[in-house]
Amino acid sequence: AELDTLDILVLGVILLGTFAYLTKGTLWAKQKDPYANAAYLNGNAAKAGKTRNFVEKMEESGKNCIIFYGSQTGTAEDYASRLAKEGKSRFGLETMVADLEEYDFDAMDTLPSDKIAFFVMATYGEGEPTDNAVEFYEFINGDDVAFSQGGEDAPLDNFHYVAFGLGNNTYEHYNSMVRDVDRLLTKYGAHRIGNAGEGDDGAGTMEEDFLAWKEPMWAALAAHMGLEEREAVYEPVFGITVREGLTPQSPEVYLGEPNKMHLEGAQKGPFNAHNPYIAPIAESYELFKVKDRNCIHLEIDISGSTLSYTTGDHIAIWPTNAGDEVDRFLRVTGLTDKREQVISVKALEPTAKVPFPTPTTYDAIVRYHLEIGAPVSRQFVSTLAAFAPTEEIKTEMTKLGSDKDYFHEKTGSQLFNIARLLEHVGNGETWDKIPFSAFIEGLTKLQPRYYSISSSSHVQPKKISVTAVVESSMVVGRQDPFRGVATNYLLALKQKQNGDPEPSPFGLTYELHGPRNKYDGIHVPVHVRHSNFKLPSDPAKPIIMIGPGTGVAPFRGFIQERAQQAREGINVGRTILFFGCRKSTEDFMYESEFEEYKKALGDKFELVTAFSRESSKKAFFYVCGDAANMAREVNTVLAQIIAEGRGVSESKAEEIVKNMRAANQYQEDVW
């Protein structure tokens, strides 16, 4: 557990910097299929020649409430959709959800005072905006912000807004994005309705923070806009049409292909968060020497693409869901027999977007596009209660949805995903009354996972190394362990590539060959995200790296680079790595490689290790010198370290030091 905390800290450091990587796919072809959703054909709204003025857009589409999101991993986007839906169903607001990067903000001052804008803003890394919020943030935080109607004292006096932030208190700049945006909007005279909410992922309370914030916010907004609450009735956002004339073999049917280019079999850059490169895996192997835990090393070949990277960048892996979980989802929702049926999904109102390309199949949607493995939101449980198979189950779902403590008591330790929860509450009944639209609305879209690139671009510019520890943990009262989506997918790829004799039975259920066998021969969809986590430009500068566990990933790249520079005769500065893991014989990854780097770098390279589960070798302490201050302080500090390290009280730790003295394990020669 100590390692986990450290891991998080180190990943926090890795997250440094802004990542302005905003290029978008522009090569999508024109829309042909009348049912197909335009976003996957034409790129974003702006590219399709639509307005970037959101006030105009609201007028055009008859909206009085716009909900902007700044989202990196999909949660903020999901909250924005939920607020839009709730605003409409409970208060009759005409809502629209909007991606911050699709609009300009100089016309903010023209938003009429009877309309409202929401900002649902995630903070990324070290207090940075998410990729899609960079432009907005630069605008509003700029030195000379110019609004369209010019510069009075309070140019945004008519502008009313609501704000919620998503952050993590283990980072220094906790929720700085929502705080900044709130401060800046207020500075320009805008008026906030309700409190600016803050959700904390670090404490694991994001969902509850959100739920607790939104009720008083709705009350304040209703009072401000004179809205009347009504009985909320579920209205689907998306319509599903069965495409009788099409089969999964029809060439226009998406079976998991992320966009039209991929459907047509062409791979064209730019490769980015909207368009992955299906990369061959050149090599893959296990880094741990124990059976029950896995850490995978991959070499991803980008030579066939326009992708490039520099040491310290991140690679995004686009996973697919495990077949076991796909089957469970389809079974519990009564869709097993329809899994290969071809359907089109259309937004029933013009500002909503279908999050995947269609026509497609239920199987492809669940396998490639929905985050079906994630924790279940309590609000979603409330929504689904209306569609329970029996009255009894409905009562239970309503209770789970409305009673926070009950929900956590029943589901907290189980790591349920949506299908497991429905299975559990449903007691063998099938949930076939749930409109499929509810799942598209209520689940996030399947997100790529980021990995710190663990190779040096100087050494291997066309091959990207990944070091990924496989997420798997036992759950009390459950037969099978909890398994992370992407890392078990990578494990399955590694096992297939190496023809491992005992592949994970769970891993075997992944559809590794991809849609229409496009990933066969061991491929994985990826894109690269540039980061500011960089070596000093002068190699002679000393560096100190702290990277326990997989936190070592980018530092393997750094050291690989410096070792190569040393071999080339470049003067390289001291290179010190602090690395920790459980046992030197189990999870000391890259141990022999570090020895090679040591040969190249000599005394310049120093590896300091700590093994948290090798406690058998008890060191002896010797203290000599000043008795009055120094020796006493050493005694006190040692006790503090023991207290912290072992999670015991300070008095207990002092007793441990006392016992060490008694056993001659702590000796003093002081005066």
Residues paired with residue 579 on neighbouring β-strands, in sequence order: 609
In the complex, the smallest distance separating the C-beta of residue 535 from ligand FAD, rounded to whole angstroms, is 17
In the complex, the smallest distance separating the C-beta of residue 119 from ligand FAD, rounded to whole angstroms, is 23
Report how far residue 487's alpha carbon sits from residue 524's, in angstroms, rounded to the nearest whole number: 12
Angle between helices 404-411 and 378-385 (to 10 degrees): 100
In the complex, the smallest distance separating the C-beta of residue 422 from ligand FAD, rounded to whole angstroms, is 13
Tell which positions 317-346 bind ligand FAD, by CB under 6 A: 319
The answer to whether 573 contacts ligand FAD (rule: CB under 6 A) is: no
**Single residue of 3, 6, 11, 185 touching ligand FAD by CB under 6 A:** 11
Report how far residue 630's alpha carbon sits from residue 408's, in angstroms, rounded to the nearest whole number: 49
Residue 213 annotated as catalytic? no
- Catalytic-labelled residue, pool 81, 452, 456, 465: 452
User: Which residue blocks in 540-626 are alpha helix, DSSP H?
Assistant: 553-567, 591-601
Helix, strand and coil percent figures for the chain, each rounded to 5 = 35, 20, 45
The answer to whether 127 contacts ligand FAD (rule: CB under 6 A) is: no
* Between 11 and 253, CB nearer to ligand FAD: 11
Q: Are 17 and 126 in contact (CB under 8 A)?
A: yes
The answer to whether 108 contacts ligand FAD (rule: CB under 6 A) is: no
The answer to whether 450 contacts ligand FAD (rule: CB under 6 A) is: yes
Among 309, 296, 285, smallest CA distance to 462 is for: 309
Q: Are 381 and 393 in contact (CB under 8 A)?
A: no
Report how far residue 485's alpha carbon sits from residue 463's, in angstroms, rounded to the nearest whole number: 24
From the centroid of its chain, how far is CA 431? 29
The answer to whether 287 contacts ligand FAD (rule: CB under 6 A) is: no
The answer to whether 217 contacts ligand FAD (rule: CB under 6 A) is: no
**Eight-class DSSP state of 172:** S
The answer to whether 294 contacts ligand FAD (rule: CB under 6 A) is: no
The answer to whether 400 contacts ligand FAD (rule: CB under 6 A) is: no
Residue 465 annotated as catalytic? no
In the complex, the smallest distance separating the C-beta of residue 470 from ligand FAD, rounded to whole angstroms, is 7
Residue 405 annotated as catalytic? no
* Between 344 and 487, CB nearer to ligand FAD: 487
The answer to whether 552 contacts ligand FAD (rule: CB under 6 A) is: no
The answer to whether 557 contacts ligand FAD (rule: CB under 6 A) is: no
Output the DSSP codes for 348-407. SSTT---SS-SSEEHHHIIIIIB-TTSPPPHHHHHHHHTT-SSHHHHHHHHHHHH-HHHH
The answer to whether 132 contacts ligand FAD (rule: CB under 6 A) is: no
Q: Which stretch binds ligand FAD (CB under 6 A): 140-148, 386-394, 447-455, 584-592?
A: 447-455
Residue 452 annotated as catalytic? yes
Residues paired with residue 580 on neighbouring β-strands, in sequence order: 610
The answer to whether 635 contacts ligand FAD (rule: CB under 6 A) is: no
Q: Which stretch binds ligand FAD (CB under 6 A): 23-31, 93-101, 371-379, 571-579?
A: 371-379
* Between 15 and 639, CB nearer to ligand FAD: 15
In the complex, the smallest distance separating the C-beta of residue 504 from ligand FAD, rounded to whole angstroms, is 13
Angle between helices 75-91 and 206-225 (to 10 degrees): 40
| Strand arrangement of the beta sheet that strand 314-317 belongs to | 449-452, 314-317, 523-529, 277-286, 295-301, 463-469
The answer to whether 74 contacts ligand FAD (rule: CB under 6 A) is: no
Q: Are 370 and 333 in contact (CB under 8 A)?
A: no
The answer to whether 553 contacts ligand FAD (rule: CB under 6 A) is: yes
Q: Are 412 and 280 in contact (CB under 8 A)?
A: no
**Single residue of 133, 261, 298, 468 touching ligand FAD by CB under 6 A:** 468
Binding site for ligand FAD (CB under 6 A): 11, 14-15, 314, 319, 373-375, 415-417, 449-452, 467-469, 471, 484-487, 550, 553
- Residues annotated as catalytic are 452, 624, 669, 671
